[in-house]
A and B are shown apart, each in its own frame.
Chain A
Amino acid sequence: MKSWNNKAWFLVLPMLLLVAFSAIIPLMTVVNYSVQDSFGNNEFYWVGLEWFKEVLESERFHNALMRNLLFSAIILLIEIPLGIAIALAMPRRGWGVSVCLVLMALPLLIPWNVVGTIWQVFARVDIGLLGYTLTQLGFDYNYTQDVVDAWITLIVMDVWHWTSLVVLLCYSGLVSIPQAYYQAARIDGASRWAVFRYIQLPKMRRVLVIAVLLRFMDSFMIYTEPFVVTGGGPGNATTFLSIDLVQMAIGQFDLGPAAAMSLIYFLIILLVSWVFYTVMTQQDADSAPGRGQS
């Protein structure tokens, strides 16, 4: 029989309090709002799952969700392969390593709204270096009016901002591969592709799981940059869930639907992340003894 050591609860208590105030209580507030309606004066009426139904059935939500999924998919498809490619091309020793690492880390050190501002100015057709040059070269580019241009601008910005993270993670995976693996591959006459496919990629899998999860969650929650650059436009073309949510909650003060939407939003991220994690770590589970080892 296992006996409970009640003293342990005292040790857990501070952490519980911290988590309660930082996560559980705010989340409960949102849950509270999501099942009630308010007409001001601090009067609330129970509406059950009405708001959830409304949000899930609204076209506005569907469109924003599709935009989010498309954006995340494009981001992952570009940043993951590009990150791997850059990591593979980076030097493994010598002074080049520090130069590359510093250059890679730079975009990650810039605050998100500053990144937005940089690109907002950079891509402007009247004064921005990029926008102006493109226009002068004869391209019909204007991110404030053209939907495709707005998307391209946001995607290029995100790739610029976040590919470094993927690169750094992959690089850390690559440098941890012992030299003997490369030597054995040469002895076995493996091609460059085979070395990548059978040595580097499997050894990078763990960091790639982290990279994919982080990039998915971050890009799915993207708010600041499109808010600064396009403000959700032109029209609603770049109105992602987060932007929509803020408009609903603060712009229109529809607290109930906004709360319901936040919860749905949260659950979608949780669900998709779980799917990614499960699929990508499937191989570990196949050979059970290896699970949990580093």
Chain B
Amino acid sequence: MARIVLNNIAHRYGAVTSSSATQSTGDAASYALKPLSHVWEDGGAYALLGPSGCGKTTLLNIISGLITPSQGQLLFDDNDVSQLPTEQRNIAQVFQFPVLYDTMTVAENLAFPLRNRRGINKLSDAEIKQRVAEAITMLGLEKLAHQKARGLSADDKQKISLGRGLVRTDVNAILFDEPLTVIDPHLKWQLRTQLKQIHRQFGHTMIYVTHDQTEALTFADKVVVMLAGEVIQTGTPEDLFKHPLHTFVGKFIGSPGMNILRCGLDGNEAIVDTFRIALPCHYPVLPGTLELGIRPEFIRIVNQGEGMPVTISAIEDVGRHRIVRALLGSQALDIVVPEGVGIPSHAEVIFETGNIGIYHNSRLVNSTNTGVS
């Protein structure tokens, strides 16, 4: 187990590796992964969240060594592993689609990564047997243990792929690349809980790639959000919810996502259409696109004359609360209304000042967070 440090790592597909390490001046758009420094703490459960094609898999493959980055340094604890081949990094990785050795039985599949060990890491047959038996119990594969791996259901196949990572209890990290994509929904939940349990039991560093926010938020202690080859925010699920540093995070996390309204600034007031909205602090004059972000949970519906008038277009009852789809001037606004709160016919809204964020070119303007508790 190890602390994994990325030191100014970047990757461009098709670029000459390693020799071009000093030439980071290339066209920024061609990066699959923009220069990035990041620390994965030992024993952390991380989710790597982002839309398809944002560089999540590239980042994962760099850590496991399947891809050699165009530049930068990768450290496990204090050891530079940038040049080590995958086999020597002792990393487990589970892929999106099940990968099985067809001709082996389920138990042989699980034993395979252990049997491949040579030299000082070599395990005795008894030890391999015991670990395989543990993994089989953990994944509930007892009935299939001695069946050939081909011809099993997708669920079982993916469990075996997971298992090949989990038998290696001494790995530096386990990387999951959207491992539950092919799994049945009810089993998904069960497996995720199991992974969480395994994490508590063994304390592996786990990095879990997904584009599903529920998956990310339930699995991880810390979520790393990526967009277009760049890490835009790292934090606990709560951080991401309360203080999104980027409009993408605001939109992506939460259901419904954050309201992002085009606005202008005037000292400590924001101007949305014709409305002036009080802000928690004073903002400097900024060129470029300005947006005001507020979560639907932090908007309150009030009676006529107390706030800004909105036009309600739909009300969705989702059980614990209702989601009101409305228009504020010309801009769409989602409002979460708790149970038991009435919605007047001529509704007006007020924004909770402390929970408003101002975004400049999609990024949060720093000074806002100071006033938020």
Contacts and interface: CB of A to CB of B under 8 A. Distances in A.
Interface of A: 178, 180-181, 183-184, 186-191, 194, 198-199, 202-203, 283, 286-290
A293 to B, nearest CB: 9
Nearest to A191: B116
**Chain B interface SS verdict (over half):** loop
Interface in B101-116: 101-104, 112-113, 116
Nearest to B67: A183
A245 B65 CA distance: 62
Nearest to A288: B151
A189 B99 CA distance: 14
B298 interface: no
Contacts of A199: 101
Contact of B161 (A184, A191, A202, A203): A184
Contacts of B112: 188, 190, 194, 198
Nearest to B104: A198
Contact of A189 (B87, B151, B161, B165): B87
Contacts of B61: 183
Nearest to B101: A198
A285 to B, nearest CB: 11
A140 to B, nearest CB: 47
Contact of B116 (A188, A203, A283, A287): A188
Nearest to A287: B151
A183 to B, nearest CB: 5
A178, A181, A189, A194 pick with most chain B CB within 10 angstroms: A189
A187 B116 contact: no
B66 A186 contact: yes
A202 B102 contact: yes
- Report which residue of A183, A188, A289, A290 has the largest number of chain B beta carbons within 10 angstroms of its beta carbon: A188
B116 A189 contact: yes
Contacts of A194: 112, 116
A286 B165 CA distance: 27
A78 B112 CA distance: 31
Nearest to A184: B99
B241 interface: no
Contacts of B97: 178, 180
B105 to A, nearest CB: 10
Contact of B95 (A184, A189, A198): A184
A22 to B, nearest CB: 39
B12 interface: no
A202 B103 CA distance: 7
Nearest to A203: B102
Contacts of A287: 147-148, 150-151
Given A180-B97, A198-B101, A187 B148 contact: no
A186 B112 CA distance: 12
B86 A186 contact: yes
B86 A187 contact: yes
B368 interface: no
Given A184-B99, A199-B101, A287-B148, A190 B86 contact: no
